[in-house]
Copies of this chain bind each other. A is one copy, B any other.
Amino acid sequence: MSPVVGSAFFLFYLLALCNASGADIALDAKATLLHRIDSLNLLIYTCLLTLTVLTIWVFKHRRVSWLHETGLAVIYGLIVGAIIRYASSTNQVTYIDAHPAPDTKYNLSVPPDILRFRFPDKIQISSGDTVPNKTYAYSFRGEIVNLEQNEIDLKATFDPEIFFNIILPPIIFHAGYCLKRKYFFRNLGAILTFAMVGTALSALVIGALMYGFVQLMPASLASSFTFLDTLYFGALISPTDPLTVLAIFSQLKVDVNLYAMIFGESVLNDAVALVLSGAIQNYEKRYSVDGGFEITAFLAAIGDFIGIFSLSLLVGALLGCFTALMTKFTHVRDWPLLESALFVLMSYAAFLIAEVFELTGVVAVLFCGICQAHYTYNNLSSDSRNRTKQLFELLNFLAENFIFTYIGVSMFTFPKHHFDPWFIIAGFLTSTLGRAVNIYPLSFLLNLGRKPPIPMNFQHMLFFSGLRGAMSFALAIRNTVSEARQAMLTTTSLIVIATVVLQGGAATHALAYLRIPTGYDALQGQNDENEALPYRDVRSETPRSGEAGEKARLARLWGALDSRLLKPLLTHARPPLTETLPGFLSPLARILTTTRQYTQADNSLRRTDSDSDLCLDEPQPVPTSIDPQQLWPGLVDTRISVEGITGSNI
C-alpha cells in the first residue's frame, strides 16, 4: 500500500486549492436522506416478502392450506403498516407558501409544470448564515386538499402509477402466458359471457345500488358522490382475483372446466374492468367540457370502451405474432440468451406501444401473453422456454405478493384513506350482490344453450370465487383526489383484505360443502401453479364423457382458422401452409413455409405443443413410432369440421 501512503502527502498540498458552496452540500445531504428513506421503504417490503416466503415454506411443509401466500402477505403488511404508523417518527417535510411573481404572464387554465423559485429571496434565515440567492426548479406534484396532512406522505407509500407500469404488467402477462388453453377455448362462451357481459352488468348494478345507498346517507356525504363516482366504483370492484381459490383447486385437482371458467374469467374481467373504468373517466372529461349530459358523449364512451379494448387486443396480438414470425424465420434460437431477450423486449414493447397510443397497456400485455404462449412458445429453443417460463413465474410471484403486502401496509400508511362506515357496509353488500348478478342470471341464460349445463354447485362456486384483488386496488388508489374517491379506496382495500383472507381461507370448506368433485388426474402437472405452461401429455388425459358434445361454434371456427392458417404461418407446425391454403396462394405459401416444416418427421412438436389438439374432445393416443405426416391430415379432416376456410391440398 506504499503508493497510497506516498500519494497522501501529495494530495495534502493540492487539496488546499479546493472550494465548494455550503448550500449545495446541505442540499446533497437532504437528497441523501430522501434516498435513504426510499431505500428503507423498499427494504421494509423486501423483508416482508422474505418473511412471507419463509412462512409459506413452513405452511407448505406442514401442509397448512387455509392461508395462501397472498393472504399472509396482506396480514404481514397490516401488522407492519400499523407499526410504521404508530411507532416511527415523522419525516420532517419543509414547505413555504409561494406566490407568482408580480408581473407574470401566463395564459393556460392549468397550473404550470415548473415553478422557478428564488431562494432565500426576501426570507429571513434565522440560522445566521448568509445564503446566496439562487433559482431552484420545483415540479408539479398535485393538489393539496388538506393543508395539515403533509408529514405522513413519505411513509412507505409509492406513486400509484407504478402499479400500472411495473407491478401489474408481469402479473397479467403471466396470466395470459399460462392460460390453460384447451379448457379455456372449450369454455370460451361461458368465460366471455361472464367476463364481458357479467363485468359490465356487475359494474352497473353496483354503481346504481351504491348511488341509491349514498342518497340515503347524511346530506353532506350524499352530495360528494356523483353517479359517475359510484359507477366508477362499480367498475373497479367488479374484477375478480381468485388466486387463493385457484391455488387450492390445483392442490385438490378440482374439475378442469370449473378451473378454466374461474381462471379465464378472472383474467379477462381485469382487462374489461380496466377499460371500462377508463371509458367512464373519458366520459367524465367529455361531459364536463360541454357542461351537460349529451347522447354523443355517452355513445363516445361506449365507443371508447369497444375501441380501446379491441385496439389494445390487436396491439398485443400483433406484437405476439410478430415475435412468433421473428423466432420462426430467423435462427436466433441458436443463441437462447438473445432469443429470451427478444421475447421479453417484444412483450414489453406491446405494453409501451399501447400506452403511447393511449390504449391500455395491461390489456395489450394480456393478449400478447396469450399469443406468445400459443405461437412463439412453440418456436423457442427449450432453453428459452424454460427461461421465459421461470422468469415470468418468478416476476409474477414477487409482483403479486408485493401488491398484497402493499395493500396491507397502505391501510395504515397511505395518507388518503377516508373511513366512512356507511359506505364500507354498502360496498360489501353491493359487491356481493354484483357478483351474484354476474353469475346466476348469466349461468341461467348460458344453460339454455349449453350442452352440459353449468350445475348449481358450480354456480355457487363461481359466486364464491369472486375474491377481489390487485386490479381493484390499483384502480382505487390511482385517483384519490376527492373525498369520495378516498372513501372508495378504503372500502376497496377492506373488501380485498376480507375476501382474500376469509374467502380464501374458507375455500377448502366451500368445496366440500358444495360437494364439488376433486382429484381429477387431468389436472395433474397442468393446472399446477408451479407449472407455468402446460406441457400436456395427451395420453395422460382421462376421457370425460359428459363434455363430449360441448363444442362452441366460436371455438370450432377459431380452431379451424388457428390450425390451418395461424399455426402453420407463425410456427413450425404441420400441416404447412402449402397444404392448407387455396391453390392460387401457393407461391405465397411456399415463401412462408420453412424447410423445417417440410422436412420434420418426428412428432416432437405435437408433444410439446399443448394446444395443437385444440377442440379435440377424445384423447388421441400418439404412438411414438407413427409418422405424423400420416396422422396429421387425418386429425384435421375428421375431428375438426372446417368452416370458413377450405383446404385445397388435403
Interface residues of A (CB under 8 A from B): 1, 3-4, 7-8, 10-12, 14-30, 32, 35-36, 39-40, 42-43, 46-47, 49-50, 53-54, 56-57, 60-61, 93-101, 104-127, 129, 131, 134-144, 147, 150, 161, 197, 200-201, 204, 208, 211, 226-228, 231, 281, 283-285, 287-289, 292-293, 295, 298, 302, 326, 330-332, 334-338, 340-342, 344-346, 348-349, 352-353, 355-356, 358, 361, 383, 386-387, 390-391, 393-394, 397-398, 481, 530
A141–B150 touching, CB < 8 Å? no
With A104-B96, A201-B3 already in contact, the answer to whether A345 and B110 are too (CB < 8 A) is: no
A11–B298 touching, CB < 8 Å? yes
Determine which residue in A57, A208, A481 has the highest number of CB atoms from chain B within 10 A of its CB, and name it: A57
A12–B298 touching, CB < 8 Å? yes
7 A-B pairs within 8 Å (CB atoms) are namely: A10-B208, A18-B293, A20-B288, A53-B342, A93-B114, A107-B127, A336-B530
Give me the 10 closest cross-chain CB pairs, A-B, nearest first.
Answer: A138-B138, A39-B355, A95-B114, A43-B352, A97-B101, A107-B126, A94-B112, A20-B288, A98-B98, A111-B119
What chain B residues lie within 8 Å of A144 (beta carbons)? 116, 135-137
A200–B288 touching, CB < 8 Å? no
Query: What's the least CB distance linking A155 to chain B, in Å?
Result: 14
Query: What's the least CB distance linking A12 to chain B, in Å?
Result: 6
A126 CA to B109 CA, complexed, in Å: 9
Query: What's the least CB distance linking A453 to chain B, in Å?
Result: 20
In the complex, what residue of chain B is closest to A125 when comparing beta carbons?
B109
What chain B residues lie within 8 Å of A32 (beta carbons)? 358
A93–B113 touching, CB < 8 Å? yes
With A17-B226, A285-B29 already in contact, the answer to whether A94 and B122 are too (CB < 8 A) is: no
With A7-B200, A284-B18, A293-B16 already in contact, the answer to whether A23 and B110 are too (CB < 8 A) is: yes
Determine which residue in A11, A111, A139 has the highest number of CB atoms from chain B within 10 A of its CB, and name it: A111
In the complex, what residue of chain B is closest to A43 when comparing beta carbons?
B352
What chain B residues lie within 8 Å of A332 (beta carbons)? 53-54, 57
With A140-B136, A348-B46, A530-B337 already in contact, the answer to whether A11 and B394 are too (CB < 8 A) is: no
Q: Which of B10, B17, B226 contacts A20 (CB under 8 A)?
A: B226
What chain B residues lie within 8 Å of A394 (beta carbons)? 337, 340-341, 344, 387, 391
A125 CA to B40 CA, complexed, in Å: 43
With A3-B201, A150-B114, A228-B20 already in contact, the answer to whether A109 and B49 are too (CB < 8 A) is: no
What chain B residues lie within 8 Å of A292 (beta carbons)? 16
What chain B residues lie within 8 Å of A331 (beta carbons)? 57, 61
A287–B18 touching, CB < 8 Å? yes
Determine which residue in A107, A125, A341 has the highest number of CB atoms from chain B within 10 A of its CB, and name it: A341
A100–B100 touching, CB < 8 Å? no
B116–A96 touching, CB < 8 Å? yes
With A341-B394, A349-B46 already in contact, the answer to whether A293 and B197 are too (CB < 8 A) is: no
A97 CA to B76 CA, complexed, in Å: 46
What chain B residues lie within 8 Å of A283 (beta carbons)? 15
A14–B147 touching, CB < 8 Å? no
A349–B43 touching, CB < 8 Å? yes
A174 CA to B50 CA, complexed, in Å: 21
Query: What's the least CB distance linking A638 to chain B, in Å?
Result: 35
B341–A397 touching, CB < 8 Å? yes
A144 CA to B116 CA, complexed, in Å: 8
Query: What's the least CB distance linking A423 to chain B, in Å?
Result: 18
B116–A129 touching, CB < 8 Å? no
Known: A12-B295, A15-B227. 17 other contacts (CB 8 A): A3-B200, A4-B197, A7-B204, A11-B204, A18-B228, A26-B108, A27-B143, A50-B349, A56-B338, A95-B115, A99-B121, A111-B117, A136-B144, A337-B394, A341-B397, A341-B398, A390-B391
A25–B391 touching, CB < 8 Å? no
A139 CA to B21 CA, complexed, in Å: 23
Query: What's the least CB distance linking A591 to chain B, in Å?
Result: 20
A138 CA to B112 CA, complexed, in Å: 10
With A123-B104, A127-B107, A394-B387 already in contact, the answer to whether A28 and B342 are too (CB < 8 A) is: no
Query: What's the least CB distance linking A188 to chain B, in Å?
Result: 16
A356–B40 touching, CB < 8 Å? yes
Q: Which of B30, B46, B139, B361 contacts A141 (CB under 8 A)?
A: B139
Q: Which of B109, B142, B334, B358 contacts A23 (CB under 8 A)?
A: B109
What chain B residues lie within 8 Å of A96 (beta carbons)? 100-101, 104, 106, 112, 114-116
With A14-B211, A22-B289, A227-B15 already in contact, the answer to whether A109 and B129 are too (CB < 8 A) is: yes
